[in-house]
Amino acid sequence: DGLKPVHRRILYAMHERAWRHDRPFVKSAKVVGEVIGNYHPHGDSAAYDTMVRMA
| pLDDT single digits (tens) 6-34 | 899 999 999 999 999 999 999 999 999 98
Instruction: Count other Cβ atoms within 10 Å, centred on residue 29.
Output: 10
- Which residue ranges make up each domain of the chain? 5-54
Coil/strand/helix, residue 24: coil
Rg, the chain, Cα only = 10
pLDDT exceeds cutoff 80 at 41 = no
Predicted TM-score (pTM) above 0.85: no
Residue 25: per-residue pLDDT: 92
**C-alpha to C-alpha distance for 16 and 2, rounded to whole angstroms:** 21
The confidence band for 39, taking pLDDT boundaries of 50, 70 and 90, is: confident
